[in-house]
C-alpha cells in the first residue's frame, strides 16, 4: 500500500499499549531542507521529490487545490495529497504542492523514541535585531488601545519580529528536532515557501480539521507565560481562567469560529467556558468546537478559508484590524498567522494556525510573535507576552534575548 493512500484512508492514532517504536521519529530524522514535514496529534507526514504546485490565479484556493488533486489522479498518482502553507494576506500566493512521494507514520507523541534527548545546537554567535524594538511595539499597542477606547474597533493582534543572523549556514534539521521533541503533542512543521526559504515552527493551534463528516476547531486566545516554579505556574494558570480581559478576548474568537462554521454544519457544539492547554512556554485558553458537516463537498480547506483569519490572529472587525496591522507593523507578515496543513481529494485534512514560527533563508531567521490587543491591554504586559512566545523558537536555537 502506498503511503499516500494511508493518508487518504486516515492514519489512526497509535494504540498507547502498542506504540509504534521509531515509526514517527524515523520521519523526523529523515527530514532534509527542501522536504515538507508536518507532525500533528494524528499523524506524521514527510513529503519528498518532484511536486505538482497549486497555481496562483483568480480562482478560489479550494477550487485550485481540488483541480490540482484531480490532475494528479488523472496522471496516475494514487490518492494524492496537498501539503503546504497559506499566507496571512488574502490574494498573496500560497505555497501548496501535491508531492510525488509521501511517507506517513503515527503521531510523534505515540513514539517512545521522541523522549530521547536531541543534541544541543551548535554554538552560534547570533546577531539579533528586533523589528520593531520593544519600545516602538509598546507605543503601537498604546495607540491601538486609545483607538479602541474611541470606539474604532474592538480588538487587533499586533506582532513584532526578531531577525537573527548566523555566521554559519542554518541547521534546519536540528532546529526541527528540538521543536518537535519539546512539544510532541503540538503541530510541528518545516515547509518550503520559495527558492531557498523555509517556514519552520511548532504551533499549538488547530484552525480546523475534517475527517469524514466530523469537524473540529480549537481556537486559542488569551494566554500567559509559564513559570519554571511549579506553584507560580499553577497560580498563573488559575489566574488566566479567571481573567476578565482574557476571557473576553477568547469569547470574541470562539464566537467568530462559531459564526463561520455554523452555515456548513448540521450540528455544532460550543462549550460555554474555555479550558487550558499548555506548551513548554505558554498557557492558553482553549475551546474545542465540534460539528457535523452538512455537505460532503465542503472540504477541510474550504472551512479553513472560511475561518481565516480569526480574531485570534487578526482582530475584529476584520477589515479594520487588517488596516491597523498594515499601519502599525513595519514588516510584511508573509506566512506568519497564515495556515499550514494537508488535505486530500476526499476533502479530509488538518489546517493549523501558523504561529510560533520563523522564516529561514540562508543564514537568517525571522521569528514572529503577536499578542491580542483589547481595550484593557497594557503595553508592558503585551510586550512581555510576545517575548515569552519567542522563547519557543529561541530555545531551539540555544539563543536568548
Cβ contacts of 40 within 8 Å, gap of 6 or more: 107, 187, 206, 350, 352
Quote the CA–CA distance of 8 and 347 in Å, as a whole number: 9
Cell of residue 142, nine digits: 498604546
- Whether the link from the prior residue into 148 is cis, omega within 30° of 0, is no
Cα dist. 7→83, 105, 116, 301, 348 in Å?
A: 11, 9, 27, 16, 9
* Catalytic-labelled residue, pool 66, 205, 350, 382: 205
Quote the CA–CA distance of 62 and 101 in Å, as a whole number: 22
Cβ atoms of 111 and 20 within 8 Å: the answer is yes
Q: What is the DSSP string of 60-128?
A: -HHHHHHHHHHHHHHTT-SS-EEEEEE-SSTTSPPEEEEEEEEEEES-GGG-GGGGS--PPPPP---EE
The cell 517575548 sits on which residue?
387
- Other CB atoms closer than 10 Å to residue 8's CB: what's the count? 17
Quote the CA–CA distance of 250 and 241 in Å, as a whole number: 11
The question of whether 389 is a catalytic residue gets the answer: no
Cβ atoms of 352 and 340 within 8 Å: the answer is yes
* Catalytic-labelled residue, pool 155, 249, 329, 382: 155
Element (H, E) at 249: helix 244-261
- CA-based R_g, the chain, Å: 20
Quote the CA–CA distance of 211 and 188 in Å, as a whole number: 20
The question of whether 155 is a catalytic residue gets the answer: yes
Region for 222 from its dihedrals, namely left if φ exceeds 0, alpha if ψ lies in -120 to 50, beta otherwise = left
Active site residues: 155, 205
Amino acid at each position: 500500500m502506498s503511503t499516500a493512500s494511508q493518508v487518504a484512508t486516515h492514519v489512526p492514532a497509535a494504540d498507547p499499549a502498542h506504540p509504534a517504536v521509531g515509526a514517527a521519529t524515523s520521519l523526523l530524522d529523515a527530514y532534509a531542507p527542501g522536504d515538507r514535514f508536518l507532525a500533528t496529534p494524528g499523524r506524521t507526514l514527510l513529503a519528498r521529490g518532484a511536486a505538482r504546485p497549486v497555481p496562483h490565479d483568480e480562482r478560489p484556493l479550494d477550487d485550485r487545490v481540488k483541480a490540482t488533486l484531480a490532475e494528479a489522479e488523472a496522471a496516475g498518482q494514487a490518492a494524492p495529497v496537498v501539503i503546504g502553507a497559506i499566507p496571512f494576506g488574502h490574494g498573496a500566493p500560497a505555497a501548496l504542492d501535491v508531492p510525488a512521494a509521501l511517507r506517513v507514520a503515527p503521531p510523534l507523541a505515540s513514539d517512545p523514541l521522541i523522549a530521547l534527548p536531541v543534541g544541543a545546537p551548535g554554538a552560534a554567535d547570533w546577531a539579533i535585531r528586533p523589528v520593531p524594538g520593544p519600545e516602538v511595539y509598546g507605543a503601537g499597542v498604546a495607540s491601538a488601545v486609545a483607538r479602541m477606547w474611541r470606539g474604532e474597533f474592538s480588538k487587533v493582534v499586533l506582532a513584532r519580529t526578531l531577525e537573527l543572523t548566523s555566521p554559519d549556514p542554518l541547521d534546519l534539521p536540528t532546529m526541527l528536532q528540538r521543536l518537535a521533541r519539546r512539544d510532541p503533542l503540538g503541530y510541528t512543521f518545516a515547509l518550503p515557501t520559495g527558492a531557498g526559504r523555509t517556514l519552520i515552527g511548532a504551533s499549538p493551534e488547530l484552525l480546523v480539521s475534517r475527517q469524514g463528516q466530523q469537524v473540529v476547531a480549537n481556537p486559542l486566545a488569551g494566554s500567559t507565560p509559564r513559570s519554571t516554579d511549579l506553584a507560580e505556574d499553577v497560580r498563573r494558570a488559575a489566574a488566566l481562567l479567571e481573567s476578565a480581559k482574557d476571557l473576553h478576548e477568547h469569547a470574541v474568537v470562539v464566537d467568530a469560529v462559531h459564526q463561520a462554521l455554523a452555515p456548513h454544519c448540521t450540528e455544532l457544539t460550543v462549550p460555554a467556558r474555555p479550558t487550558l492547554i499548555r506548551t513548554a512556554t505558554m498557557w492558553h485558553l482553549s475551546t474545542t468546537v465540534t460539528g457535523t458537516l452538512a455537505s460532503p463537498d465542503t472540504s477541510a480547506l474550504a472551512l479553513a478559508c472560511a475561518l481565516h483569519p480569526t480574531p485570534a490572529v487578526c482582530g475584529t472587525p476584520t477589515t479594520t484590524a487588517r488596516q491597523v496591522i498594515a499601519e502599525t507593523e513595519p514588516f510584511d507578515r508573509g506566512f506568519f498567522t497564515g495556515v499550514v496543513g494537508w488535505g486530500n481529494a476526499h476533502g479530509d485534512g488538518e489546517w493549523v494556525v501558523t504561529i510560533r514560527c520563523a522564516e529561514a533563508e540562508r543564514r537568517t531567521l525571522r521569528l514572529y510573535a503577536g499578542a491580542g490587543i483589547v481595550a484593557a491591554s497594557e503595553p508592558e504586559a503585551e510586550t512581555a507576552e510576545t517575548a515569552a512566545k519567542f522563547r519557543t523558537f529561541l530555545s531551539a536555537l540555544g539563543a536568548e534575548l
